[in-house]
Amino acid sequence: MNGRFTWFNTTSLTVGFVFLYLPILLLVLFSFNESRLVTVWAGFSTKWYVELFKDKAFLDAALVTFRVALLSATVATILGTLAAVVMVRAGRFKGRTLFSGMIYAPLVMPEVITGLSLLLLFVAMGVSRGFWTITLAHITFSMCYAAVVVSSRLVTFDTSLEEAATDLGCTPFQAFLKVTLPIMAPAIISAWLLSFTLSLDDLVIASFTSGPGATTLPMKIYSQVRLGVTPKINALSTILIGIVTIGVLVASYLTRRSEARRKVDELLAES
């Protein structure tokens, strides 16, 4: 059934999207405000961006955050993909229920509990806290999201393609590398992107697991926000929102293009 825009639909879509986007737009607008106040408009200025880039503490935090996010997203995607293969393909093995429980539980676990429990582990093991402990913590919760994303695609994967490859002389491992992995690539890329943004975004778990010397951007933003609202935070937020928006748009463009190409290939194969 093809729908249409009635007045009710148009109104509720407009109200809904204004509610979702207006706060973000206002945040971006006031990052260009001349005044120190973030609620009274006093003319256009980019001085808060200049101040932001002069602030070494923010740049350091940004560097730590990106390093943690890059490393944790990469390891989490590898472990998550392995976990997805185990859940979908490995069949029965001892402790399977526990395994899938451990994959799904972190998704609904309150961050304060995950953070506290990991911190207590690191203390009990006597490791010094900082960059590496944050990274380990982020890998642990991101890999579960990655596993869910990859396994939802792996379930619909046609295994006869792999069988064809092994019939043609591939070892199962080669078949996996040459056939399965390329087809799974879009799901693996979106798992990586999700893990990356989750790590970039996390305040609570990083606060618990970090030590002196390792401050991430969300921790820095949080401590500033607690002191009061400043246009510098608006400027920083605008930059982060810009990066994420461009990233998501590019990713969705790429997946749409590869979907389109796949459909063309399928049509050619059938004809």
Partner 1 sequence: MDRKFGRFLLIGLPYFWLLVLFLVPFGIVFKISLSDVAIAIPPYTPTFDLSAGWEGLKSLISGLDFENYIWLTEDDIYWKSYLSSLRIAGISTILTLLVGYPLAYSMAKAPSEWRPTLLMLIILPFWTSFLIRVYAWIGILKTEGLLNQLLMFVGVVDEPLQILNTDTAVYIGIVYSYLPFMVLPLYSALEKLDGSLLEAAQDLGCTSIEAFWKVTFPLSMPGVIAGSFLVFIPAIGEFVIPDLLGGSDTKMIGKTLWAEFFSNRDWPVASAVAVLLLLLLIIPIVLFQNQQERAQEAEK
CA gap 212, 73 in Å, rounded? 23
Task: Annotate each residue in 219-238 with x if it binds partner 1 (CB under 8 A) or - if it does not, as one string.
Answer: --xx--xx--x---x---x-
Q: How far is the CB of 35 from partner 1 (least distance, A)?
A: 12
Report the residue number, 113 or 164, with the smaller CB distance to partner 1: 113
Tell me how far apart the alpha carbons of residues 119 and 127 are, in angstroms, rounded to a whole number: 10
Q: Interface residues for partner 1 in 42-81 (CB under 8 A)?
A: 79-80
| 6 lines the binding site for partner 1 (CB under 8 A) | yes
Nearer to partner 1, 183 or 241 (CB): 241
Phi, psi of 90 (to 5 degrees): -75, -10
CA–CA dist 144, 262 (Å, integer): 28
Q: For partner 1, which residue of 148, 179, 191, 200 counts as binding (CB under 8 A)?
A: 200
Question: Interface with partner 1 includes 213 (CB under 8 A)?
Answer: no
Cα separations in angstroms, 80 against 15, 73, 94, 150, 174: 38, 10, 19, 8, 20
Amino acid at 244: V
Residues 110-139 contacting partner 1, CB under 8 A: 110-113, 116-118, 120-121, 123-124, 136-137, 139
The position carrying tokens 């490995």 is: 90
Rounded Cα distance, 125 and 111, in Å:
21
- Min CB(71)–partner 1 separation in Å: 15
Nearer to partner 1, 38 or 52 (CB): 38
Residue 23, interface with partner 1 (CB under 8 A)? yes
